């Protein structure tokens, strides 16, 4: 059974989803207009999720809240992202980026074993189904500039500022 529940956070309404007791997705308001109830219902019908708050989803929301308040630097959640083998290799590299640090797309490509795959790393970041818990916001351009983020650059900036302020 696939469940999703929406939580109000300091960065807006966030949907967290789980299947078989593992976190599978995080949804930002930018993923669809969560202000409109019909859009939420349409999303639920199309995605196959049931709107249900589970113990795991409540724990994930609690950990996310602690992180956003600067009280947590690591997550302790069972994650089950779905993607290609290369995407999973990239996401595994992202999890190793320390709290408060950033790495470039090139550094992640090298760590994933394909130094010329900077654009593919960018695509894997874009397709990361569990942002924040898998910290794709910690990946920046080679010069340190912020680049695209599914939740929007404003949220990416805020996440990085939270981390930098607590180091």
Q: Are residues 94 and 136 in the same domain?
A: yes
Task: Find the angle CA(24)-CA(26)-CA(107) to the nearest 5 degrees.
Answer: 90
Kindly report the CATH number assigned to the domain that includes residue 25: 3.30.160
The pLDDT assigned to 97 comes to: 96
- The structure tokens 């009280």 sit at 71
Which segments in the chain show pLDDT lower than 70? 32-41, 43-45, 166-167
Kindly report the CATH number assigned to the domain that includes residue 118: 1.10.10.10
| Choice among 117, 136, 159, 160 that is catalytic | 136
The pLDDT assigned to 40 comes to: 67
What's the token pair of residue 19? 């299947």
Task: Find the angle CA(53)-CA(55)-CA(59) to the nearest 5 degrees.
Answer: 100
The pLDDT assigned to 39 comes to: 64
Q: Which domain holds residue 22?
A: 2-68
pLDDT digits (tens, 9 = 90+) for 129-152: 999 999 999 999 887 788 888 888
Q: Are residues 161 and 93 in the same domain?
A: yes
* pTM confidence score: 0.90
pLDDT digits (tens, 9 = 90+) for 47-72: 788 889 999 999 999 999 999 999 99
The pLDDT assigned to 38 comes to: 55
Q: Which residues pair with 19 in a beta bridge?
A: 2, 22
Is 118 assigned a catalytic role? Answer: no
Q: Is residue 113 part of a domain?
A: yes
Q: Is residue 91 part of a domain?
A: yes
Q: Is residue 80 part of a domain?
A: no
Total domains in the chain come to 2
Cβ neighbourhood burial of 144 (10 Å; 0-12, 13-18, 19+)? exposed
Q: Are residues 48 and 107 in the same domain?
A: no
Cβ neighbourhood burial of 12 (10 Å; 0-12, 13-18, 19+)? middle
């Amino acid at each position: 059974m696939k469940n999703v529940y929406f939580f109000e956070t300091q960065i807006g309404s966030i949907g967290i989803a789980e299947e078989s007791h593992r976190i599978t997705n995080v949804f930002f308001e930018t993923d669809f207009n969560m202000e409109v109830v019909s859009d939420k219902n349409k999303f639920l019908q199309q995605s196959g999720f049931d709107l249900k708050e589970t113990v795991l989803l409540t724990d994930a929301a609690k950990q996310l809240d602690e992180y956003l308040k600067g009280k947590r630097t690591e997550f302790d959640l069972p994650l089950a992202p779905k993607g290609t083998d290369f995407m999973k290799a990239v996401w595994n590299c992202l999890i190793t980026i320390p709290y408060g640090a950033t790495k470039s797309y090139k550094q992640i490509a090298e760590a994933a074993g394909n130094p010329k795959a900077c654009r593919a790393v960018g695509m894997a970041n874009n397709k990361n189904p569990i942002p924040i818990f898998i910290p794709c916001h910690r990946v920046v351009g080679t010069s340190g500039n912020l680049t695209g983020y599914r939740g929007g650059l404003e949220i990416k900036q805020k996440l990085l500022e939270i981390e930098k302020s607590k180091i």
